[in-house]
């Protein structure tokens, strides 16, 4: 196992009607004049925003609103948010929504405390050191941004989707009420499920030896997702299944299942070019890319893929042909994703073969450069993975 530091300071408040505590929570973390940040219509329509405004008023928290964050959030609303915070001297950002709203809130939080262009953090020109405090009310179990120190934003100019990470943007608190996710369309629920499982897989496929505890934690989260997911697809109002999935989404990405081991994240990078270019849902893009990536890298460590097949998917180990078992595991994963309504091919998320050179170019590797992880990939390898996803 590798050395590690694990620091996850977010306070989580979980359960029914917990959003009504938001005013007190903002106060507890020092917010007095805040930015209330949200997405499209869903939070207004469900009555959630009304309850949030009420709770903030009851706690004498002054707030300025900025709605309209779209999925795969864009840089332009981040600039608007930074201006609003500076003009109104705001001291806290409350994100009400999914990963897109939370990531936009994190970008604003960093941008307010920085003299340059906030995009510097996403282009790799600068690393974030300071941010306004962020709190969240999560409405979709998916990205894990409610517990992560990451943020992903798309620059409109060139549709470049890029991420950054820093401890300074981990939310101070996150309110998780599974009932809030009951209004999600089945497709969006399934996209979230896929993203959660992908976050575990990016950590599971590692070159680090002797990581039995985190291996088993990863497998437990995946098994829980396999068990609970069909229940919410069949019955969107299944609170208990929603609750298990919501907590899995947090656990999958605050890194508790990934500490002490090298991780991959190439599937995420390869997917981000799809949701950047075609504006498809991140989870849908992952459903197409993850199995293709697995097929491409499998031979690097057949026994790890066979372990995944046996322990997670219940495949029978074929000791005379472990590759057969490994392939069965990948097929089981792909079939599971299809069974919850996820796409299987590039075409289903808007892609085609002739765009592959564009996607590879946007990925941005220079001549001779590789991207690290379980298997180091060249531009040609990335093109092969897109081809396997056709």
Question: By CB under 6 A, is residue 16 in contact with ligand NZQ?
Answer: no
Q: Between 63 and 204, whose beta carbon lies closer to Zn ion?
A: 204
Which of residues 166 and 183 has its CB atom nearest to ligand NZQ in the complex? 183
- Kindly tell me which residue out of 100, 164, 229, 263 binds ligand NZQ, with binding defined by CB under 6 A: 100
71 scored as a contact of ligand NZQ (CB under 6 A): yes
Instruction: Based on the shown chain and the rule CB under 6 A, indicate whether residue 315 belongs to the binding site for ligand NZQ.
Output: no
Query: Does 41 contact ligand NZQ by CB under 6 A?
Result: yes
Please, which residue, 194 or 307, has the CB nearer to ligand NZQ? Answer: 194
Name the percent of the chain in helix, strand, coil, to the closest 5: 55, 10, 35
Residue closest to 72 by CA, chosen among 28, 97, 104: 104
Say if residues 232 and 245 touch (Cβ distance below 8 Å): yes
> Could you give the angle at which helices 186-204 and 239-253 cross, rounded to 10 degrees?
40
Determine if 174 is a binding residue for ligand NZQ (CB under 6 A). no
- Minimum distance from residue 123 beta carbon to ligand NZQ (Å): 17
Closest-CA residue to 282 (of 169, 178, 204, 187): 187
As a whole number of angstroms, the distance between CA 262 and CA 2 comes to 8
Distant-in-sequence, close-in-space partners of 380: CB < 8 Å, separation ≥ 6: none
Q: Does 242 bind ligand NZQ (CB under 6 A)?
A: no
Site membership for ligand NZQ, residue 350 (CB under 6 A): no
Q: Among residues 150 and 215, whose Cβ is nearest to ligand NZQ?
A: 150
Cα distance between residue 159 and residue 153, in whole Å: 10
> Which range in 49-57, 92-100, 204-212, 239-247 contacts ligand NZQ by CB under 6 A?
92-100
Tokens of 234: 């069949």
CA neighbor of 288 nearest in space, from 340, 327, 343, 229: 343
Rank residues 146 and 328 by Cβ distance to ligand NZQ and give the closer one.
146
**Which positions lie near Zn ion, rule CB under 5 A?**
195
How far, in Å, CA of 360 to CA of 221, rounded? 32
Q: Which of 26, 168, 184, 284 binds ligand NZQ (CB under 6 A)?
A: 184
| Contacts with ligand NZQ, residue ranges (CB under 6 A) | 39-43, 71-72, 97-101, 103, 139-140, 142-145, 148, 150-152, 180-181, 183-184, 188, 192, 195, 253, 268, 275, 282-283
């Amino acid at each position: 196992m590798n050395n590690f530091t694990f620091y996850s300071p977010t306070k989580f408040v979980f359960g029914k009607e917990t959003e009504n505590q938001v005013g007190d929570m903002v106060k507890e973390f020092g917010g007095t004049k805040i930015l209330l940040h949200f997405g499209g219509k869903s939070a207004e329509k469900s009555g959630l925003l009304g309850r949030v405004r009420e709770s903030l008023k009851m706690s004498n928290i002054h707030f300025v609103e900025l709605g309209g964050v779209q999925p795969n959030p864009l840089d332009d609303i981040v600039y608007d948010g930074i201006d609003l915070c500076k003009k109104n001297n705001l001291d806290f950002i409350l994100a009400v929504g999914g990963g897109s709203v939370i990531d936009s809130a994190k970008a604003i939080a960093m941008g307010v405390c920085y003299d340059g262009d906030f995009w510097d953090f996403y282009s790799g020109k600068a690393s974030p050191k300071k941010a306004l405090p962020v709190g969240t009310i999560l409405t979709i179990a998916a990205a894990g941004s409610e517990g992560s120190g990451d943020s992903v934003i798309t620059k409109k100019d060139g549709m470049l989707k890029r991420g950054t990470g820093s401890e300074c943007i981990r939310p101070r608190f996150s309110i998780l009420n599974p009932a809030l996710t009951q209004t999600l369309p089945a497709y969006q629920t399934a996209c979230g499920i896929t993203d959660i499982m992908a976050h575990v897989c990016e950590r599971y496929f590692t070159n680090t030896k002797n990581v039995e505890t985190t291996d088993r934690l990863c497998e437990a989260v995946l098994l829980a997702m396999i068990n609970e997911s069909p229940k919410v697809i069949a019955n969107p109002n299944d609170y208990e299944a929603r609750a298990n999935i919501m907590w899995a989404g947090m656990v999958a990405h605050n890194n508790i299942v990934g500490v002490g081991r090298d991780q991959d994240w190439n599937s995420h990078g390869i997917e981000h070019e799809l949701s950047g270019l075609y504006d498809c849902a991140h989870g849908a893009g992952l459903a197409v890319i993850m199995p293709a990536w697995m097929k491409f890298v499998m031979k690097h460590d057949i026994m790890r893929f066979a372990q995944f097949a046996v322990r997670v998917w219940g495949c029978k180990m074929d000791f005379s042909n472990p590759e057969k078992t490994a392939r069965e595991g990948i097929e089981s994963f792909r079939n599971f994703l299809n069974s919850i309504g996820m796409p299987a091919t590039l075409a289903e998320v808007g892609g085609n073969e002739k765009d592959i050179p564009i996607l590879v170019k946007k990925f941005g590797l220079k001549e001779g450069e590789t991207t690290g992880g379980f298997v180091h990939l060249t531009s040609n390898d990335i093109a092969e993975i897109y081809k396997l996803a056709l």
